[in-house]
């Protein structure tokens, strides 16, 4: 497996190159002149041109990309057009709130979703199954921004149990993680149920029951472990989406994370920050997919990787 992991890591290099080209081109297609925005509304044409030269925007696009890649390989993500601060420092200060929000959201969603899926599969076409799937459908159907506002109204404004925004303590993550994880929980519950039902039709499950194994061991040790492969795939992909897709929740709950920073940067046309964030999200997503592939071998020892 070590050789396989090394091959996959090396295969990421050309993929990251393609991603960097796409992100760079996409950013430069956004309407607006970053030099004019950086200079301000009252700047003269000479001042705008001076800033354009300083930022290298007067150079051909291919030359701007070469300069960008040289700086990137040296760990230089550029300077924010809005604040004048290094982009790396801005990302570092916003990184952990988003990571903790993602971990809390995925944590409770994974546990609750898998449990609901197992209970629904074991009690197929009975009231626990109907209740579980009703919960799953509700979680997918309810808009996230509406759920967040309702939670704030009930648990923050009326009951006063949690803050309306910010993450000064663990309480600040409770309502945002519920909002962000509701849809993921619902999706995992449905995938867990369908995967469990498919696994429980296998011959080795019937053999285990025929040998007199307790239903707890048949479901927990044999069916669950083999059905988790599909669940891990969905959970891994959703974890990547959560890291880059918490924009709405961070805005509603005023969380100083990467999603909030991205919204502010888009409003100001802060190209360097937008470019760095999109590239960061792409790298996170690629690495999470690699981790999911490696986890397959842990869950199912029968899986053998080519060249491993």
What b-and-e string marks burial along 181-190, b requiring 16 or more CB atoms within 10 Å of the CB?
A: bbbbbbbbbb
Residue in the block written with tokens 């709950």: 253
> What is the 8-class DSSP label of residue 58?
T
Give CA 52 to chain center in angstroms: 35
pLDDT in tens, 37-72: 666 666 677 777 777 777 777 777 778 788 888 888
Give CA 158 to chain center in angstroms: 31
User: Rounded distance, CA 217 to CA 35, Å?
Assistant: 65
Model pLDDT, residue 186: 86
Query: How many other C-beta atoms can be found within 10 angstroms of the C-beta atom of residue 243?
Result: 23
For residue 166, give both structure tokens: 């910010």
pLDDT in tens, 219-245: 666 666 667 777 777 777 777 777 666
Say if CB 1 and CB 302 are below 8 A apart.
no
Say if CB 192 and CB 227 are below 8 A apart.
yes
pLDDT in tens, 66-116: 888 888 888 778 788 777 788 888 888 888 888 888 888 888 988 888 888
Give ranges for CATH 1.10.3720.10 in the chain. 94-299
C-alpha dist (Å) from residue 96 to 14, 80, 210, 258: 28, 20, 51, 9
For residue 110, give both structure tokens: 């994974």
| Residue 139, Cβ density class (10 Å: 0-12 exposed, 13-18 middle, ≥19 buried) | buried
Q: What is the dihedral of CA 107, 113, 118, 123, to 10 degrees?
A: 150
User: Rounded distance, CA 259 to CA 171, Å?
Assistant: 20
Residue 298: half-sphere exposure toward Cβ, Cα within 13 Å: 8
User: Which among 9, 20, 13 is positioned nearest to 282, based on CA atoms?
Assistant: 20
Model pLDDT, residue 218: 67
Query: How many other C-beta atoms can be found within 10 angstroms of the C-beta atom of residue 153?
Result: 12
For residue 72, give both structure tokens: 């990137």
Percent of the chain scoring above 70 in pLDDT: 79
pLDDT in tens, 179-223: 888 888 888 888 888 877 777 776 666 666 676 666 666 666 666
User: Rounded distance, CA 54 to CA 303, Å?
Assistant: 54
Residue in the block written with tokens 């962000």: 180
Residue in the block written with tokens 């937008």: 274
DSSP letters for 253-277: TT--SHHHHHHHHHHHT-HHHHHHH
User: Rounded distance, CA 98 to CA 107, Å?
Assistant: 14
Model pLDDT, residue 307: 46
What average pLDDT does the segment 136-145 reach?
A: 80
pTM of the model: 0.76
What average pLDDT does the segment 243-272 reach?
A: 79
Model pLDDT, residue 260: 83
The fold for domain 94-299 equals MetI-like fold (1.10.3720)
Model pLDDT, residue 306: 47
What average pLDDT does the segment 287-292 reach?
A: 77
């Amino acid at each position: 497996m070590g050789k396989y992991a090394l091959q996959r890591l090396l295969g990421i290099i050309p993929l990251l190159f393609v991603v960097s080209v796409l992100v760079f081109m996409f950013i430069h297609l956004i309407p607006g002149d970053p030099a004019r925005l950086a200079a301000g509304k009252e700047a003269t044409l000479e001042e705008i041109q001076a800033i354009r030269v300083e930022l290298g925007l007067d150079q051909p696009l291919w030359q701007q990309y070469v300069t960008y890649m040289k700086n990137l390989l040296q760990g230089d993500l550029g300077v924010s057009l809005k604040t004048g601060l290094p982009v790396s420092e801005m990302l570092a200060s916003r990184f952990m709130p988003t990571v903790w929000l993602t971990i809390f959201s995925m944590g409770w969603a994974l546990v609750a979703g898998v449990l609901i899926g197992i209970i629904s599969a074991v009690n197929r076409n009975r009231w626990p199954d109907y209740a579980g799937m009703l919960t799953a459908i509700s979680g997918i159907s309810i808009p996230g921004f509406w759920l967040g506002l309702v939670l704030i109204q009930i648990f923050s404004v009326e009951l006063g149990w949690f803050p309306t925004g910010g993450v000064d303590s663990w309480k600040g993550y409770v309502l945002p993680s519920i909002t962000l994880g509701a849809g993921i929980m619902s999706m995992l519950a449905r995938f867990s149920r369908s995967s469990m039902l498919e696994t429980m039709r296998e011959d080795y499950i019937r053999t285990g029951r025929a040998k007199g194994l307790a239903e707890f061991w048949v479901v927990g040790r044999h069916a669950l472990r083999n059905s988790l492969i599909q669940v891990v795939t969905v959970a891994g992909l959703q974890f990547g989406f959560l890291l880059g897709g918490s924009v709405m929740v961070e805005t509603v709950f005023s969380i100083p994370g990467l999603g909030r920073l991205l919204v502010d940067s888009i409003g100001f046309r802060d190209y360097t920050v937008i470019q760095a964030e999109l590239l960061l999200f792409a790298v996170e997503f690629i690495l999470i997919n690699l981790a999911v592939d490696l986890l397959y071998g842990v869950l199912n020892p029968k899986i053998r990787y080519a060249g491993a």
